[in-house]
Amino acid sequence: MLACLTLLQVKRRHYTIAIREWKKKKFKNIHCLSVLIFLCLNSQGVRKSYREVIDVSWGDPHRAGVKPLSFVRQVLAACLYPQLMDGDKLMVDVKQRAQRLLKTCAGGSVGSYSDAAGIPQIIQSVSEYILRRDGGIPCHPENIYITPGSQWALTNILKVLVNSEASPRTGVLIPVPCHSTTIVSLTALGAVAVPYYLSEERGWALEVETLQQALDSAKGVCNPVALYIINPGNPVMFKFYKILKFWTCFVSYKRALAEIGAPLSDTVELASFHTASKGLMGECGLRTGYVELVNLDPAVMKYINNLFSTNSCPVLGQVALDVMVNPPQPGDPSYPLYLKHIRASLAENVRRVEEVINSFPSFSCQSLEGGAFAFPRVFLPPKAIEKAKEAGLQPDTFYCMRLLEEAGVLFSPGTEYGQMEGTYHISFCIMTPTDTMEEILKRLSTFHKQFMREFA
């Protein structure tokens, strides 16, 4: 982003100059382009119909205006400044949770170091949460590491999997669409990303036949060792075997693996990630998550323990993780407000996004069943596709750029995630306040009608 800013020391007269600079510097992310366009336009005093830009291209709920959960922030505040518990402003269960968590910290302070894998009592809480989630399937605390974010954990697990000197190279099967950060991590390690396409018509379902096709395409190119799954929620990796079973209803992949039965349930290696950044908490800035490792060789576990010891998770993030896996329960003083908060906007946003976007004749949005993003398909007219090519842009990047410029809404184009050739998509986070989402849909509706008329 700073590199983008250096390009704009000279005033520009039109956003096409920004595009030219963007292409020349080979920036691929639309956020870089957005900085260029807006600084160019602002330097000319261009007036727009909107007063502020709404950025929902990131999976950052708080940045989008979602208010933090009161219980989470009150527990964090009490742990940071224990004197807050002396008065009567905090609920009893908030004080009890903070007092319990402070006792797990060295010296009774969140400013202290913790064990490399995390505070043992909080690891135990995570283990008990997984046990409940999976209906009693055993979960061993020694297989859990609390980490500074799921992406950090994923990258380091990939380091263990990938042999940069192997011939043929290490391959990892990845879904399409998929976050570009995963592909960047793989290629940086010297691995080959082997794409398998999710079925959009079946609600982005994963099909065994498609996996087999991807596996066949890797012959002679690389040696696939892992399957990466992030559909629609948390990333999971299986050590790849020829026989796998999949369920259409959502269960954790650890539970799915256990229900396959022996010998696979006892031998397939799995790394399962979760984070406080997404989901109901949305505490992206605390950079905390965990990884559970299943069926790994003891020698590999020892290596991972050394690897993960290089960067432990901040204690305050671990406190938030404890709250995530042990939220207020019915009967707790904080439960009514907590329940009201988590129901406040997400369900309504899901309903409105599906309703409004599917009302457009040239859009198709699959049912939103668990992810934080919508990924609708947009059927762009031939003239718009041709105009994009003239500008040297992918058609959905061109669409998102125009949406940003004319309506002040920042989405990500589907090309950043991968998509079937000849299809175009937009991606945006649905975790916003309801009034913000209504404004987004209103701006999108007005823009889309004008765009389609222009290129009809």
- pLDDT tens digits along 295-328: 999 999 999 999 998 888 899 999 999 999 999 9
Q: Which burial class, exposed, middle or buried, applies to 86 when counting CB atoms under 10 A from its CB (0-12, 13-18, 19+)?
A: exposed
Q: Which burial class, exposed, middle or buried, applies to 172 when counting CB atoms under 10 A from its CB (0-12, 13-18, 19+)?
A: buried
Yes or no: say if 335 and 328 are a contact pair by the CB < 8 Å rule. Answer: yes
Q: Residue 283: which of 322, 252, 333, 231 has the closest Cα? A: 322
Helix axes 92-104, 315-325, angle to 10 degrees: 130
Residue 234 has a pLDDT of: 31
Residue 279 has a pLDDT of: 66
Residue 344 has a pLDDT of: 65
**Per-residue DSSP letters for 124-152?**
HHHHHHHHHHTTT----GGGEEEES-HHH
**pLDDT mean over 416-439:** 93
Q: What's at 27, amino acid-wise?
A: F
Residue 83 pLDDT more than 50?
A: yes
**pLDDT mean over 435-444:** 96
- Every domain of the chain with CATH number 3.90.1150.10 lies at 2-52+346-454
Residue with tokens 């302070």: 109
- Can you give the pTM of this predicted structure? 0.84
User: How would residue 64 be classed by pLDDT, with cut points 50, 70 and 90?
Assistant: confident
Tokens of 368: 């939103």
Residue 277 has a pLDDT of: 84
Structure-model confidence comparison of residues 64 and 302, the more confident one = 302
**pLDDT mean over 16-22:** 50
Tokens of 278: 């997404």
Q: Residue 66: which of 234, 283, 276, 275 has the closest Cα? A: 283
**pLDDT single digits (tens) 342-377:** 766 677 888 899 999 999 989 999 888 767 889 999
Checking DSSP bridges between strand 236-239 and strand 373-374, what pairing results, if any? unpaired
8: DSSP letter: T
Residue with tokens 């009967």: 331
Residue with tokens 């009201």: 340
**pLDDT mean over 140-152:** 93
What is the rounded CA–CA span in Å between residue 326 and residue 314?
19
Residue 247 has a pLDDT of: 31
User: How would residue 207 be classed by pLDDT, with cut points 50, 70 and 90?
Assistant: confident
Task: Give kind and range of the element (H or E) at residue 339.
Answer: helix 335-342
43, HSE (Cβ side, Cα atoms, 13 Å): 18
Mean of per-residue pLDDT scores for the chain = 85
Residue with tokens 């800035």: 285
Tokens of 72: 């989470």
Q: What's at 165, amino acid-wise?
A: E
**pLDDT mean over 141-166:** 92
What is the rounded CA–CA span in Å between residue 114 and residue 136?
29
**pLDDT single digits (tens) 23-32:** 454 445 555 5
Yes or no: say if 402 and 41 are a contact pair by the CB < 8 Å rule. Answer: no
CATH no. of 76-325: 3.40.640.10
| CB atoms near residue 359 (< 10 Å) | 11
User: How would residue 130 be classed by pLDDT, with cut points 50, 70 and 90?
Assistant: very high
**Coil, helix or strand for 347?**
helix
What is the rounded CA–CA span in Å between residue 443 and residue 431?
17
Residue 160 pLDDT more than 90?
A: yes
User: How would residue 14 be classed by pLDDT, with cut points 50, 70 and 90?
Assistant: very low
Structure-model confidence comparison of residues 102 and 46, the more confident one = 102
284: DSSP letter: G
Residue 228 has a pLDDT of: 92
In 231-344, beta strands by DSSP E: 236-239, 270-275, 289-294
Yes or no: say if 78 and 98 are a contact pair by the CB < 8 Å rule. Answer: yes
**261: alpha, beta or left? (left if phi > 0; alpha if psi -120 to 50):** left
User: How would residue 282 be classed by pLDDT, with cut points 50, 70 and 90?
Assistant: confident
Residue 34 has a pLDDT of: 57
Residue 40 has a pLDDT of: 52
Structure-model confidence comparison of residues 279 and 326, the more confident one = 326
Q: Which of 50-59, 235-244, 400-409 has the highest mean pLDDT?
A: 400-409
- For 2-52+346-454, the fitting CATH number among 2.40.40.20, 3.40.1180.10, 3.90.1150.10, 3.40.50.970 is 3.90.1150.10
Phi, psi dihedral angles at 421 (to 5 degrees): -60, 135
Residue 46 has a pLDDT of: 60
Structure-model confidence comparison of residues 391 and 180, the more confident one = 391
- Every domain of the chain with CATH number 3.40.640.10 lies at 76-325
**pLDDT single digits (tens) 250-262:** 578 899 899 999 9
What is the rounded CA–CA span in Å between residue 239 and residue 227?
6
Residue 116 pLDDT more than 70?
A: yes
Residue 122 pLDDT more than 90?
A: yes
